[in-house]
């Protein structure tokens, strides 16, 4: 499992380059881009993130620096298998 914060600090590709072929990988966290196309060049098997349900409240929570527990109040957990 790799938190999607690794996308922000630009370490995703370096980390994934060092795993074995048989390792199943999951990108997770509320910042995970829930689109398969973004990961088609990487050995990622599943995405686990959140999809905003209430855009206004989600943006307000982000602006106020709220964390994942608050964001989950205004979104739904989502999983996408890439294999």
Q: 50-68 pLDDT, tens per residue?
A: 999 999 999 999 999 998 8
Question: Please, are residues 44 and 13 in contact by the beta-carbon 8 Å criterion?
Answer: no
The sign one gets for the Cα dihedral 40, 42, 45, 48 is negative
> What are the φ and ψ backbone dihedral angles of 32, each rounded to 5 degrees?
-65, 125
* Structure-token match 């989950």, residue found: 72
DSSP letter assigned to residue 29: S
Percentage above 90 pLDDT, the chain: 82
* Predicted local distance difference test score (pLDDT) of residue 21: 86
DSSP letter assigned to residue 73: G
What average pLDDT score do residues 35-47 get? 94
What average pLDDT score do residues 63-78 get? 93
Tell me which residue of 82, 75, 31 sits closest to 57, measured CA to CA.
75
* Predicted local distance difference test score (pLDDT) of residue 83: 84
What average pLDDT score do residues 22-51 get? 93
Tell me which residue of 49, 69, 71, 51 sits closest to 60, measured CA to CA.
71
Average pLDDT taken over every residue of the chain: 93
């Amino acid at each position: 499992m790799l938190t999607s914060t690794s996308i922000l600090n630009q370490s995703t590709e370096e980390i994934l380059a060092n795993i074995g072929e048989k390792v199943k990988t999951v990108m997770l966290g509320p910042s995970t881009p829930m689109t398969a196309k973004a990961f088609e060049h990487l050995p990622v098997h599943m995405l686990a993130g959140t999809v905003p349900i209430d855009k206004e409240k989600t943006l307000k929570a982000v602006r106020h620096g709220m964390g994942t527990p608050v964001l989950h109040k205004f979104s739904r957990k989502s999983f996408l298998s890439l294999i």
